[in-house]
Amino acid sequence: MASFNATIRLKAGPYSDDQIDEIQQIFAERVMPFVWWVSDVDAENGLEPQLRQHGFDYYGDESIGMAMTLPGRFQQTPAGEPLSVYRVAERHDVRSWFATLLQSFGATPDEQTLEAATTVYTYLSNDSLSGWHLYLARLGSQPVGTCALHLGSTAGVYSVGTIPEARRQGVGTALTRMALTDASSAGHGIASLTASGSGARLYEAIGFKEYCRFREYVWRPPRG
């Protein structure tokens, strides 16, 4: 999956085409796709046409970079019944977490991908040094939404998704608020995330503000 691999920043030199080739080769040798995040500054420096010349595709996806200052104690809004939100770390729960995340984006994983992702995320969520926390929401007994929190230099919120039939019921808000509550309790003062245009309204209601935008260019290795 391209979204798991990314180039975030390039300090372009006089031979930027060679730099792009070098980065591309890292992923080509592993037969892995990846995303190149392009900021407005990158666009002004002419990076986008270069990426297209190197075989990158742009599908119109633009991510909004947002951040907020966390209060000393972030008050979580209780989830309404029958919605429940909790942190997961057991393998069977992590498996449900990943399957629900992909379902929220309209994707169905094959068994090999599901097993590999479950193994990786189970390891990360049980390693206290990794900084990763996973959250799963259920309506009754059905998994309906996901969120991930990474505690690094800031509290990063990721992988917020709700399956189509459970949207507009406060699932994403409940998940995000629980993650921010844990981040605040851990002593973090700033939270950051990237959002889609529709998702940005949800985060603005919580207290996030827009600071930048990124466009996502995708490269995939040739088939065969």
Q: What is the pLDDT of residue 4?
A: 78
CATH architecture of structural domain 71-188: 3-Layer(aba) Sandwich (3.40)
Tell the burial category of 33 from Cβ atoms under 10 Å away from its Cβ (0-12, 13-18, 19+).
Answer: middle
Residue 13 half-sphere exposure toward CB, CA atoms < 13 A: 5
pLDDT tens by residue, 132-176: 999 999 999 999 999 999 999 899 999 999 999 999 889 999 999
| Model confidence, pTM | 0.84
* Lowest-pLDDT range of 93-97, 102-106, 190-194: 102-106
pLDDT tens by residue, 2-60: 777 899 888 877 778 899 999 999 999 999 999 999 988 888 888 899 999 999 999 88
Cis link prior to 71 (omega < 30° from 0)? no
The rounded distance, in Å, linking the Cα atoms of 165 and 207 is 26
Q: What is the pLDDT of residue 74?
A: 65
What is the signed CA dihedral for 113, 117, 119, 123, rounded to 10 degrees? Answer: 170
Tell the burial category of 191 from Cβ atoms under 10 Å away from its Cβ (0-12, 13-18, 19+).
Answer: buried
More confident residue, 224 or 149: 149
> Could you tell me if 148 and 158 are in contact, meaning their C-beta atoms sit under 8 angstroms apart?
yes
φ, ψ for residue 194, nearest 5 deg: -120, 145
| In the chain, % of residues over pLDDT 70 | 96
147 Cα distance to chain centroid: 9
Q: What is the pLDDT of residue 224?
A: 63
3-state helix, strand, coil in the chain (%, to 5): 40, 30, 30
24: tokens are 């591309």
For range 103-122, the mean pLDDT = 90
- The domain segmentation of the chain, as residue ranges, is 2-62+214-219, 71-188
Tell which residue, 66, 11, 60, has the closest CA to residue 176: 66
The rounded distance, in Å, linking the Cα atoms of 220 and 151 is 30
The rounded distance, in Å, linking the Cα atoms of 8 and 2 is 13
For range 67-96, the mean pLDDT = 85
